[in-house]
Amino acid sequence: MPLLFEPLTLRGLALDNRIVIAPMCQYSAKEGAATDWHLIHLGTLAMSGAGLLIIEATGVTPEGRISPFDLGLYSDETEAALAGVIARVKAQIPAEGMPRFAIQLGHAGRKASSAQPWKGGGQVPEAEGGWQTVAPSALPFRNADAPPAALDDAGLDRLRTAFAEAARRAARIGFEAVEIHAAHGYLLHQFLSPLSNARTDAYGGSLENRMRFPLEVFEAVRAALPDSVPVIVRVSGTDWVDGGWDIEGTIAFAQALKARGADAIHVSSGGLSPLQQIPVEPGYQVPLAKAVKEATGLPTIAVGLITEPKQAEAVLAAGEADAIGIARGALYDPRWGWHAAAELGASVTAPPQYLRCQPSGLRHLFR
């Protein structure tokens, strides 16, 4: 059995294999509510052959959405819309061939109120449907952006509660795992990095202080969920900027998360500063996942230009990660898991409607 197709258990959740569809924003919600686009999108990815499907960054408050078109999970209306999509997808695909469903909960902080990427991605002014953003400190992401409002104690309390309530809603509508978004320059990452956190209170300054609010959010989410539901944390291993967040801080953060009951760390990088200099190449973030895994013993998910099945298998064989995140590659090839199984000599479960597509030379592929 190829390592990529060996099972993996996170807390009480058994995954059929180690392929993870990483979260990918679709910028296609209506007032935070899932639409028919999400039904098509998630229905397609649910037939990818992956073991775990993590849906896109979902705002825990309206102002926490990256864009006015992002998913939210902060009201009965947004909960009902997303519940309907997930239920309809699960009703059509054989349970034995469907990935487990997880949701990524986040808050965009100073990077909120942004336009859709295909419309430039810049900050949307309040006069044009945007909103006042919030952050650890009143430091904008870009010089041209309106400064965010620095969060006060009441704001921090409100956001802890919002993360916990979104987690309860997620469990209620059938999500089997929750990922907390503390990467890519969004709010929790903004607290971690000295480039975006200039606070002088208990939430700024030292590494211990900068980790404090993200750890409090983790504790609130963990306490809000049934014990059997794993909590994953998405981190940026480095800002790729001198003087910014780095792998040493990431390891310290991961160790603190482990002590509080985290089940896995999903290791990405960058996103906090326009000054980042990223050495993009195949597997460029894998060493970050390896460093976290070796230092903490926590299961890690490696992601970032891992596009080929043999490349993914090699990462696992070298012990650099425990699972492989596939993102844009799964949009380009929605049957990535099927094709990986064919190449590596494994098998997947396909819907009966698709059994006739099995190539004649690959009679082992569908089980």
Beta bridge partners of 265: 233, 300
Per the domain annotation, does 363 fall within a domain?
no
Is residue 367 a part of any domain in this protein?
Answer: no
113's CB contacts (< 8 A; 6+ apart) are: 63, 67, 68, 123, 124, 126, 130, 131, 132, 133
Instruction: Please tell me the pTM assigned to this model.
Output: 0.97
Quick one: average pLDDT of 57-79? 98
pLDDT digits (tens, 9 = 90+) for 111-126: 999 999 999 999 999 9
CATH number of domain containing 346: 3.20.20.70
Whether 224 is in a domain gets the answer yes
CB of 22 closer than 8 Å to CB of 325: yes
Query: Is there a contact between 196 and 135 (Cβ–Cβ < 8 Å)?
Result: yes
Query: Helix (H, G, I), strand (E, B), or coil: what is residue 206?
Result: coil
What's the Cα-to-Cα distance from 9 to each of 5, 17, 125, 194, 226, rounded to whole Å? 13, 9, 45, 35, 16
Q: What percent of the chain has pLDDT over 90?
A: 96
What are the pLDDT digits (tens) for 346-357?
Answer: 999 999 999 999
Whether 250 is covered by a domain: the verdict is yes
Beta-carbon contacts of 66 under 8 Å, excluding residues fewer than 6 positions away, are: 25, 27, 57, 59, 108, 111, 112, 114, 186
How many distinct structural domains can be found in the chain?
Answer: 1
* Domain extent for 268: 3-357
**Dist CA 124 CA 132 (whole Å):** 10
User: Which residues does the annotation mark as catalytic?
Assistant: 186
Domain membership flag for residue 112: yes
**Residue 206 within a domain:** yes
The pLDDT confidence band at residue 364, using thresholds 50, 70 and 90, is: confident
What is the Cα–Cα distance from 73 to 62, expressed in whole angstroms? Answer: 9
Residue 362 inside a domain? The answer is: no
